Amino acid sequence: MSELEQLRQRVFALEAARDVSACLHEYMQLCDYLNEGFDLDPLMALFTEDAIWEGRGKRYAATFGRREGREAIRDMFVKYTLPPAHFALNVHFLTSEKVNVQSETEAEGTWVLLQTATFTDGRSQLSSALLNVRFRREDGRWKIAHFCTTSRFNRPVQTPWDNPQPLPVPEE
């Protein structure tokens, strides 16, 4: 293999890893705003037609189950777009990213997710999960082919995450 071809492959892998990461970050950002009337089309566009979305482990397998196909995934998310709103606040944080580009059309990644949520009923929760996600490149764009979330921990929090009190700042 020529030096030029090696460089081409290395640049492709670097750009692919960046694009895979951007795909998952876009997914999380859209989920942060999942609410009444939310347009699911941009979220669903991140998945392959035959994608799988599944919760694993004792808690998440029972709570979320396994959805096969983009339409089944849409059906799972649609309940978050109906009144009454499920979330008053929902923020996802991704860390410990590791992306492996396997070919020009296949990649996988792992992340640790931290989620802070306040529900419209006033309860708040802190959750963490391990994400294992496979991606496939279709029509020049990386998409989620298999999203797997496994609970690390979930715990209630006593007060809402967004406290309406003024922020403390130094006095002049």
Three-class DSSP category at 162: coil
How confident is the prediction along the chain (172 residues), in pLDDT tens digits per residue? 899 899 999 999 999 999 999 999 999 999 999 999 999 999 999 999 999 999 999 899 999 999 999 999 999 999 999 999 999 999 999 999 999 999 999 999 999 999 999 999 999 999 999 999 999 999 999 999 999 999 999 999 988 888 888 888 998 7
pLDDT digits 0-9 by tens, 64-107: 999 999 999 999 999 999 999 999 999 999 999 999 999 999 99
Using an 8 Å Cβ cutoff, are 104 and 119 in contact?
no
Which pTM was predicted? 0.93
Nearest to 162 by CA among 92, 95, 91, 113: 91
d(CA 43, CA 23): 10
Rounded Cα distance, 70 and 76, in Å: 10
Note the helical H segments in 45-170.
Answer: 57-64, 70-78
Domain 3-157 carries which CATH code?
Answer: 3.10.450.50
